Every structure is written in structure tokens, then in C-alpha cells.
Amino acid sequence: MGYDAWRNYGDDDDALLVHGTAVAVDVCGLLILGPSGAGKSSLAIDMLALGAQLVSDDRVWLRASPTGLRLQAPQAVAGRIEARGLGLLSCAHTPEASLKFCLDLSQTCDRRLPFVQEVTRLGQSVSVIPGGPQVPRAAALLLLLQNGFAADD
């Protein structure tokens, strides 16, 4: 069986516990998915250095709410992020954020301007951006969370 970005590691029917990392700018959250070693935590650390806030590393709760999907940290990993070669680091974090985008490092798109795929999770739409073959820069992802995509004219 191959990698499944949306595999549920929890036992809650109203939420998904996914293997990923989540960061936020203000209340706008980015869920980073990918297999172990893909660079989820490293990308998040780069974003944190530029002003993003950690929601959760390694495991992320995805919960439906009346205003959209929410990202939350399981209590066991709250305020911790793994830095390869160093170990677990303590980190300020925000308890939850509203999911705006998902970056899936297991998906690739060879187009210069990749397509955004819409998937449905917990009855709500999620915008999924392919993360390869070239992973978007942390600064560009911060701009995306702050401003969204430019409108087509």
C-alpha cells in the first residue's frame, strides 16, 4: 500500500487525525502533508522563522466547524516541532487555525503554475496544492496565507 495523505490516525468520526504539520499566519492555516522525511517540519521551521505560528507538527487534528475546517494540535505534541539532526524543539504555538490551503509534498505537477485540486474532507472543500517537484519557498507560502492567489483578469 502506498502513501495516503489523508489516512485517519484517530478514532473520532467527526475529525481526522492526519500525519502532517500545520502553521498559521494570523488565523489562516496551512496544512503540510507528505511522507516521513519529505520536509514538512523543515518547511514549517522556515515559515516560523519568517513569522508564521506553529499549530502542530507530526500529527494534526482536522475538525469541521460551522465556519470551515479547523486545524488543531493533539495535546501530546502541542508546542513541539522536530528539527532533523537536533531533535524535538519547544516552540510557541497557536491552539488552532482555520484551514485555508493544503500543500501535499507527495503530489507533483510539472507545470510552472500548478493547478490547485479541490477535495472534500469532513463534508468541506479543501484546496490542495501539489508540493513538487520544486517545493514552494516558505516566504511564498506566507504571502499565500496573507493574500491568497491573484485573481485571473
pLDDT of res. 9: 85
pLDDT tens digits, residue range 4-26? 888 888 887 789 999 999 999 99
d(CA 139, CA 144) in angstroms, rounded, equals 9
pLDDT of res. 114: 76
Please compute the mean of the pLDDT values over residues 119-148 and round it to a whole number: 93
Q: What does the block give as the cell for 90?
A: 519547544
pLDDT of res. 1: 46
pLDDT of res. 127: 94
pLDDT of res. 76: 93
Please compute the mean of the pLDDT values over residues 62-89 and round it to a whole number: 95
- Which residues does residue 63 pair with via DSSP β-bridges, in sequence order? 15, 70
* pLDDT above 70: residue 89: yes
CB 57 within 8 A of CB 32: no
The confidence band for 152, taking pLDDT boundaries of 50, 70 and 90, is low
Q: What pTM was estimated for this model as a whole?
A: 0.94
What angle, 0 to 180 degrees and rounded to 10, lies between the N-to-C axes of helices 138-147 and 40-49? 70
* pLDDT above 70: residue 153: no
pLDDT of res. 102: 97
d(CA 136, CA 134) in angstroms, rounded, equals 6
Average pLDDT, the chain: 92
pLDDT tens digits, residue range 15-69? 999 999 999 999 999 999 999 999 999 999 999 999 999 999 999 999 999 999 9
d(CA 102, CA 125) in angstroms, rounded, equals 11
Domains of the chain, each with CATH number or no CATH: 15-146 (3.40.50.300)
